[in-house]
Structure 1
Amino acid sequence: MSKRHSAKYKIDRRMGENIWGRPKSPANRREYGPGQHGQRRKGKLSDYGVQLRAKQKLKGYYGNISEKQFHKVYVEASRLKGDTSENLIGLLERRLDAIVYRSKFVPTVFAARQFVSHGHVKVNGKRVNVCSYLCKPGDVIEVREKSKQMALVLEAVQSNERDVPDYIDLDGNKLTATFNRVPAFSDVPYPVQMEPNLVVEFYSR
């Protein structure tokens, strides 16, 4: 699995929130952080601390992508016309691994990264194994024929844990998804409150 797979729930506990909305999350039972000092009373965060936490939460949600990659996404978002925080979310949601996760081809965003990197996904009929590949509106994302019977895929497709957002058209029988449009921040079904404006403030300090 992804190198982060075994540690994914530590992100939940560190944040004190169930950031993926999964019923198995330990944050549902223990709202304090991991480790021997996790239950210490937390002081009030500084403005920098609030911004850092917002950045860690958003970065963690997308499979805890590397800081270098995440900063690169921010730089690209700041170059585009319009609101940088909206552009940031749009770029993150255009990632191939994010669309695979949103389309319910796999149960978690960590599994989506592994699924893409192992070559189980095609975009417009061509195999793509780059998780950060940016899809465009109209792109058709599909599970390769020989991968459709994987237990991971069958489990995810049948799960009622989350819904497919309206900016993706899913054909559950063929396991194909069409990326209709780049979503606005308000369109993205985050289980917890995300604050991309604070992420922009963090990087623009």
Structure 2
Amino acid sequence: MSKRISAKYKIDRRLGENIWGRPKSPVNRREYGPGQHGQRRKGKLSDFGVQLRAKQKLKGYYGNISEKQFHRYYVEAARLRGDTGENLIGLLERRLDAVVYRAKFVPTVFAARQFVNHGHVKVNGRRVNIPSYLVRPGDVIEVKEASRQLAIVLESVALGERDVPDYVDVDHNKLAARFVRVPTLSDVPYPVVQEPHLIVEFYSR
């Protein structure tokens, strides 16, 4: 499991964007970075800096994935047929914790990682506790019966701050979801603009 070392909202403040679109993000009040020198850090980014920022933003969005794991996704995306940037997004959206988050079983992608890791999720009737497990189109993801009355699940289902995308078919009464298809970049409801082509440029240097 990839370990999150810093507070999640520090990622928002460091990047200067509310990358999850959450109303509690401190970026809504303070758009500068954390720390005593945060307000003085603004400056024109180089091409490398722009590419690095795009990579940090996408890594952060999916729960601050480790560099080693994120690079593996890039290598796999480059190996697949088609556009590497689109393939990268498709692989990230196939992560089990991402699907659990998209299905609104939990309120944040960080909670989704912990929820999967603690064994609350089944894939095709089998318990899976690996957040990076890649689901396939047609796979059924469900909350384990013993976990369906957890407060975090009930509260998340009732949240209206985000919608379930059309590539995930969800039945909130049964707390089950079917992964319909691998999405493209334009299908994914990112609250901020993601630029996978810049990530491809970063790794292609």
Tell me which interval the TM-score lies in, with the shorter structure as reference length.
over 0.9
> CA 1:33–1:56 in 2, change beyond 3 Å: closer, same or farther?
same
How do residues 74-89 of structure 1 correspond to structure 2 at under 5 angstroms?
Answer: 74-89=74-89
CA distance in 1, matches of 2:80, 2:142: 29
- Assess if the C-alpha contact under 8 Å between 2:33 and 2:41 holds in 1: no
- Give the superposed CA RMSD: 1.1
1:42: how far off? 1.7
Show the counterpart of 2:72. Answer: 72
SS where residue 115 of structure 1 aligns? helix
SS where residue 74 of structure 2 aligns? helix
Query: Structure 1 residue 195 and structure 2 residue 195: aligned?
Result: yes
Letter in 2 for 1:86: E
Aligned residues: 204
* Structure 1, gaps ≥5 residues long: none
CA distance in 1, matches of 2:131, 2:73: 13
Q: TM-score, normalised by structure 2?
A: 0.97
Show the counterpart of 2:59. Answer: 59
Letter in 1 for 2:130: V
CA distance in 2, matches of 1:160, 1:3: 29
Show the counterpart of 2:133. Answer: 133
1:43: how far off? 1.8
Letter in 2 for 1:107: P
Q: TM-score, normalised by structure 1?
A: 0.97
- Assess if the C-alpha contact under 8 Å between 1:5 and 1:110 holds in 2: no
Show the counterpart of 2:95. Answer: 95
* Structure 2, gaps ≥5 residues long: none
Letter in 2 for 1:96: L
CA distance in 2, matches of 1:171, 1:88: 27
Residues 85-108 of structure 1: CA deviation (Å, up to 9, x unaligned): 000000000000000000000000
CA distance in 1, matches of 2:41, 2:143: 47
